[in-house]
Amino acid sequence: MKRVAVIVFPGSNCDADTLAAARAAGSDAYYVWHRDTTLQQADVVILPGGFSYGDYLRSGAIARFSPIMAAVSEHARSGGPLLGICNGFQILCEAGLLPGALMRNARLRFLSRPVRVRVEQCDTPFTSLYEPGEVLDVPIAHGDGRYVVDPTTAAELEATGSVVWRYVGDNPNGSTDDIAGVTNDGRNVVGIMPHPERRNAPALGGQDGARVFLSMEARHATQHAVDVRAVDHRHLGV
Amino acid sequence: MPRATLLDPQGQAVEHALRALGFGEVGQVRMGKHVVLEVNAATRDEALTRARAMCDRLLANPVTEDYELAVEGVGGSAR
């Protein structure tokens, strides 16, 4: 049973769903308030969705300086699994823990609807139970979901297999290369715009998101960061 | 301001609205933010240096935005 810290910022609104999804996967999940400074021996840290600080200035720009973020950064630097969902993804980009940034949707509208994403990488702590190329039905709910990186970084993301989820069929927000989620060089930090916690049971319209939480709970999932070998730009868990 | 190479959907929407209102002379429109900082500093250079640090640390995202600084109203009384 993994200890999973769900960080709560002022304006987080997916924290309860995320906690419930982690518990449904068998984790010992608990809240950590953003003004705390310790993660209480967390194995996994999740930054949930929402509108931290009202999205003032830029989404995630102020939350990244919350007191707890020093411990979150340290957790990530030491190889600990760290997931950002939606606003959590925006915070991780603002904090420099993931490359790129998330900007206003290309057609300006706030989008709240299901999308289809393809699982591109299964060697992260949050995607290990998916099949490569599997297409998932998961909802998005964001106004600032257009993932942006400079062309050099975009090419590096592709070369290193760092795009974790990609929109298929329809790019809802104008994201560069249809990117819906990325991981870092250490492959322990993952950010995704869709909400897997809203699709983890048949009663919620599907369970395509459940394995995000089951993956982090799965045995050895946290070891992937050191067990991965890159062969011809493809990462293989060994 | 959003980087010139990046899509600026807000600027595009305003550009289209201006054309629809008959302002055919309008070229590209780009939209950013205007932040007014009241800074206590001994000199103009010091104010600029501190404001630049604020932009780099918080106010601008180097991935998506460029910024310009200007000092106005030098000599105002400190509060």
Would you list the domain boundaries of chain A?
Answer: 3-237
In this prediction, residue B74 has a pLDDT band, given cuts at 50, 70 and 90, of confident
Sort out which chain A residues have CB atoms less than 8 A from B10's CB and list them: 104, 108
Category of A174 on φ-ψ map: left (φ > 0), alpha (ψ -120 to 50) or beta: left
- For chain B, the C-alpha Rg in angstroms (whole number) is 17
Distance in Å, alpha carbon of A3 to nearest chain B alpha carbon: 32
Q: What is the ipTM of this complex?
A: 0.83
Q: Is the pLDDT of residue B78 over 90?
A: no
A93 is catalytic: no
Give the dihedral of Cα atoms A140, A141, A143, A147; nearest 10 deg.
-30
A197 is catalytic: yes
Sort out which chain B residues have CB atoms less than 8 A from A57's CB and list them: 58-59
CA-closest candidate to residue A158, choices A238, A234, A79, A237: A234
- From chain B residues 34-53, the ones with a CB under 8 A of any chain A CB are none
> Using CB atoms, which residue from A93, A108, A148 is nearest to B13?
A108
| Catalytic annotation, pick one of A195, A217, A224, A235 | A195
For residue A170, the model assigns a pLDDT of: 93
Cα A115–Cα A138–Cα A20 angle in degrees, nearest 5: 155
A94 within 8 A of A84, measured Cβ to Cβ = no
Q: Does A96 touch chain B (CB under 8 A)?
A: no
| Catalytic annotation, pick one of A14, A34, A120, A197 | A197
Distance in Å, alpha carbon of A28 to nearest chain B alpha carbon: 35
> Using CB atoms, which residue from A65, A104, A150 is nearest to B10?
A104
A215 within 8 A of A125, measured Cβ to Cβ = yes
- Nearest chain B residue to A148 by CA: give it: B64
**How many angstroms separate the CA atoms of A51 and A142, rounded?**
10
**How many angstroms separate the CA atoms of A15 and A21, rounded?**
10
Q: How far is CA A101 from CA A20, A89, A235, in A?
A: 28, 9, 24
**How many angstroms separate the CA atoms of A143 and B10, rounded?**
12
pLDDT digits (tens, 9 = 90+) for B19-66: 999 999 999 999 999 999 999 999 999 999 999 999 999 999 999 999
- For chain A, the C-alpha Rg in angstroms (whole number) is 16
- Nearest chain B residue to A102 by CA: give it: B64
Q: Which residue has the higher pLDDT, B52 or B4?
A: B52
**How many angstroms separate the CA atoms of A133 and A111, rounded?**
25
Q: How far is CA A210 from CA A14, A21, A101, A204, A230, in A?
A: 15, 7, 26, 11, 27
A94 is catalytic: no
Q: Does A182 touch chain B (CB under 8 A)?
A: no
Q: E strands within chain A?
A: 3-8, 28-33, 44-47, 82-85, 101-103, 111-119, 135-142, 146-148, 163-167, 179-183, 189-192, 228-231, 234-237
Helix (H) or strand (E) holding A94, with range, is: helix A87-94
Q: What is the pLDDT along chain A (238 residues), one digit of tens a residue?
A: 999 999 999 999 999 999 999 999 999 999 999 999 999 999 999 999 999 999 999 999 999 999 999 999 999 999 999 999 999 999 999 999 999 999 999 999 999 999 999 999 999 999 999 999 999 999 999 999 999 999 999 999 999 999 999 999 999 999 999 999 999 999 999 999 999 999 999 999 999 999 999 999 986 544 444 444 344 444 443 3
Global pTM value:
0.89
According to CATH, the topology of domain A3-237 is Rossmann fold (3.40.50)
Can you give the residue ranges of every domain in chain B?
Answer: 1-32, 34-71
For residue A222, the model assigns a pLDDT of: 45
Q: Which three-class secondary structure state does DSSP give residue A25?
A: coil
What's the full length of chain B, in residues? 79
